[in-house]
Structures are given as C-alpha cells and as structure tokens.
Chain A
Amino acid sequence: MGTIKIYWALAMASMRARLQYKASFFVLVFAVTLFYAAQLASLFVVMSSFKQINGWHTGDMAFLFGLLTFSLGVTTLLFNGLQNFDALLINGEFDRTLVRPLNPLAQLMFSRFEASTVAHSVIGAAALYYGAKMSGIVWTPQKAASLPFVIVGGVLIQGGIRIFVNAVAFWTLRNAAIVHTVVFSGREFVVYPITIYNAGVRFFLTFVFPIAFINFYPAQFFLDKTGETLFHPALRSLTPAVGLLVITISLYAWKAGIDHYQSSGS
C-alpha cells in the first residue's frame, strides 16, 4: 500500500512539473496532436485512393491505427521516463535511483509526463471510436470485455520493448539511435495490416518482434475477420499472454543489466 502511495506522489510530481507553464504546455499538446493527426490523415489519403488493403477498409484501418495509438498513449504515460535513458547513465544521474529504497525501474516509470501522451490517447481513442463505428463492430459482451485486456497487452508489449532496448544501454552506454529505430520506426510496420508483407516479415513481426499482437491480431478478432491469412487463428486472442511474456523477458534483461552496471563514474 505504501508503495502505491509513493508511485502516486511521483506521478503527481512529474505532472505538476510539466504543468508549471500551463499555457505553453497546452500549446504543445495542441501542436503534438496536430502532428500526429497529420499521420492519421495520410492513412486516410491512402484509403481514399485505394478503398481497401487486402480486404481492410477505411473503418478497419482506423480501428487498427486506434489500437496501436491508444496503447502507445498509455505506454508513454508509464514508460516515458525511459526516454534518453542512455543520457541518465552517461551523466551518472541513474545512480541516484539506485540508492533510494524503491525499485530503480519503478522510479523511472511515471517520471516524465509528456504532451505526446495526451495526443496519442486522444487520437487513438477517436480512431478506435470512429473505426469501430465505420466498420460496424457489434460490441458483444465478449468483445467489450476483451478490449481492456487487449490494450493492457499492447501496453505490456510496447513497454517491454522499451525496457529491453534500454537495458542494452547498461552494456553499450549509448543506445539512442537503436531505441529510436526499434521503438519509433519499428511501429511503422504495423500501421498497415501485416498481410502486405512476405511470410518472413510476418513471422518476424509475430514471433521475434511481436508487435503485430498490439493491433493486427486482436483487430482480426474485433472485426470478425476469418483467419486465412494468419499462421494460426488462436493468435487472435493471444495479445495479453504475449504482453506478459514480453514484459517478463524484458525484466530479466533489465535485471541482468543492472547486475552488470558499474556506473560511468561521472
């Protein structure tokens, strides 16, 4: 119970820090939202020309985008403190977290509240809502109950990936470019249904770098798509399990990294 109180205090402190300059924060939120809205607009441009991508229509695509973006919003809320993690290691600031009586990783969580969190959540929620409406999803109790689990699973996958690539920094110190590529550009693969790729890439996005579970597989379930293009129909409901697996592996990597860590001495 005490730990949760500490988390809450940390989260509130980072939120207050960000909101010190309220006007400039809201201008930033507005700009970031427009920036990502332009990304969604480019998806609509593609759909306006081509109508469908392997049987995925505009509403389906919006829903696919919504699952990815909304879970990204929650992920950034929790894990943004890991951004520029290599800088924390290089300037020695990470060492402060080691001497406090709370898990170092837990201290980094919630520690950076960013405008992008608001932007992703708003755009993601809107895309989910309109995507579901346009593609005519019928919210059976089973589907409605599954949605939170799918989002949590997506957050665990994305959070786990962030922890994993940042754990690499315990060995290499600098890892900013790798993080950028894996965390931000990697995401581009699943903006579109992975059926556009050859079998090798689909296998990679399913079993090696399993980001297709964030949106592609669960979307099949919500949109009642038959699974002829899947490796196995059961994959459609495995998102929460994959999330747990990814976060477990990444926590092991993180622990191994901390055990290896010897501080930069600066």
Chain B
Amino acid sequence: MSPALFLKFVEVSFRKEIAYRFDYFVMILNGFIYVFVFTSLWRTVFAAGGGTFGGFTTKSIISYTVVAMVVRISFSMDDGLIPGRVRDGSVSVDLIRPVSFQLMNLAQSVGYSAFHLFARGLPIFVASAWLFGVRVPAEGLPAAIVSLVLAYLLLFLINFTTSLLAFWFVEIFPFTLLKYGLINLLAGGLLPMDFFPTSVRPLLSYLPFQHIFYSPSVILTGRVAPGNAPVILAEQAAWVAAFAVLSAVMWRAGRNKLVIQGG
C-alpha cells in the first residue's frame, strides 16, 4: 500500500471520529477522573511510606500515572470493526479491494487513535501537567518515541488478532472482555509493574502486556535510563513480530474458511 493511500485511510477514519465528536469533552472528564483518583491514591500511600517505593518517588509516580493514562487514551482503538464486518458479511468487500487488509485496518486505527490523542489525550496531559506536575525528560524522548510506536503496533496487533477470532466464533465479545481484563490489570495503564508482588513479576515479564503502556511510560518519564532502553525496545519489537506472524497466519486461515451468509 502506498504511503499516500495509507494516509488517506488515516484521514477518512479521523474525520469519521470528528463527526461523532459529541460529548467528547465529557470523555475528557472521564479520563481525568482516573488521573485524579490515582494521583490522590499515590500521594497518600507514598506520603505514608516516606516518599519512595519500588524505584518511584512521589513526583515520578505522578508523572508515570499521567503519562500512562494519556498513552492509554491516545491508543483508543475501535475493535468492534472487523467482527462487525465479518458478521454482516461486508468483509467480503474488503477481500476484493486491491489493498492489504492489515494495512488498511492499521491506517483506520491510526486515524481513530489520532483523534483521541488530540481530542482527549493532549487536553488531559496539559491539564494534569498544570495541576499535578509532570516531568518528561528530553534525553529519553528519541527512545520513547520508538517505544510508543512499537507499543501502538503491539496493541493494534493484539486487537487485530482477537478480532480475527470472529472468523471462527459467532460471538467474540467474551474474548474481547478477557483481553481487556488482562490489559487493564497487566499492561501498566494504571498500575506500574513495580507494584506487583516480586513473586509474580518474572511471570509478567514473559507476557506481552507490560510492553503496551508500561514500557513507553517508564522510558518517557525517565524511570528507565536511556542507556537501558534498547533492551526494552528489543523485547517490544520481538512481541510485535510474534503477533504480526500470528495474525498473518490467522488471517490466511480465516479468509479461506470464511463463508458469507447469503442476502
């Protein structure tokens, strides 16, 4: 797919979101509630514990909370799209399009997320930075940007892979719920991995989830020194590659299995 066509898909999907922008400032408030609850919580428990825990100071955990939440909001994706198109059969139109199904979906996802980045992520970041104070050291930015791109691809591929289950199951909502349960708990959007009991931490490092919100957030906030970032980036890239292969295999198998109901 040519970059120009990719950008066209991004743009169309971005515009579609603008059309549905009603209530979006209510959704800003929505994200802000989480930031407020968790910064209040960390302030309380860090003050009681002498101001440091698990490598975080009160200041750095607040930066982490804000950054992780903004990343999470900006990574909003519409994962009902593919299952819906499989169910109503319109995926058949996608099949005959002379463009890559994966790249088209990625482009649409980027457009969707870009809207949420500008409409919700940035306002929440600015308001939180002003109210709570956020430190994002400049020297970590290059590595952080790479990490963010990899994290985005990873989340997209996890969503994409789960969506492809629609080729085999009529109702994939239970899978989607389980996926979100795992992501909410283990991706670092609210709780950094450092707060998990030391007994389960090794297990978590074998899972892809922490590379979605935790890895980019610790690099962005300087919790990880830029010198140590390459190891994390390599792990993220490995997970992206693994899910790219898995989803490609599933896409092939699913496409061959697909039966469109008449009508």
Contacts and interface: CB of A to CB of B under 8 A. Distances in A.
A binds B: yes
Interface of A: 24, 27-28, 30-32, 34-39, 41-42, 45-46, 48-50, 52-54, 174, 176-178, 180-181, 185-186, 188-189, 191-192, 195-198, 201
Contacts of A196: 40-41, 43-44
A31 B174 contact: yes
A174 B23 contact: yes
Nearest to B46: A50
A176 B23 CA distance: 8
Nearest first, the 4 closest Cβ-Cβ pairs linking A and B are: A177-B23, A31-B174, A38-B181, A35-B181
A46 B195 contact: yes
Contacts of A176: 23
Secondary structure call for the A interface: helix
A46 B27 contact: no
Interface stretch (B102-110, B132-140, B183-191, B211-219): B183-191
Contacts of B190: 42
A3 B27 CA distance: 40
A31 B53 contact: no
B30 A48 contact: no
Interface in B7-49: 22-24, 26-27, 29-30, 33-34, 37, 40-41, 43-45, 48-49
A54 B41 CA distance: 10
A34 B177 contact: yes
Contacts of A42: 184-185, 190-191
B262 interface: no
A54 B46 CA distance: 11
Contacts of B22: 174, 177
Contacts of A35: 177-178, 180-181
Contacts of B48: 50, 52, 54
Contacts of B45: 46, 50, 53
A35 to B, nearest CB: 4
B191 A32 contact: no
Contact of A45 (B49, B175, B191): B191
A39 B26 contact: no
19 contacts: A24-B171, A28-B171, A28-B174, A34-B181, A35-B178, A38-B181, A39-B185, A45-B195, A49-B196, A50-B53, A53-B45, A54-B44, A181-B33, A185-B30, A186-B33, A188-B33, A188-B34, A195-B44, A201-B40
* A42, A52, A180: most-surrounded residue (chain B CB, <10 A): A42
B177 A178 contact: no
B41 A177 contact: no
B261 to A, nearest CB: 18
Contacts of B202: none
B130 to A, nearest CB: 17
B182 A38 contact: yes
Contact of B27 (A38, A54, A181): A181
A180 B24 CA distance: 12
A186 B37 CA distance: 10
Contact of A181 (B26, B182, B197): B26
Contacts of A32: 177
Interface in B128-167: none
A187 B228 CA distance: 39
Contact of B41 (A46, A52, A174): A46
A191 B41 CA distance: 11
Nearest to B200: A45
B25 to A, nearest CB: 9
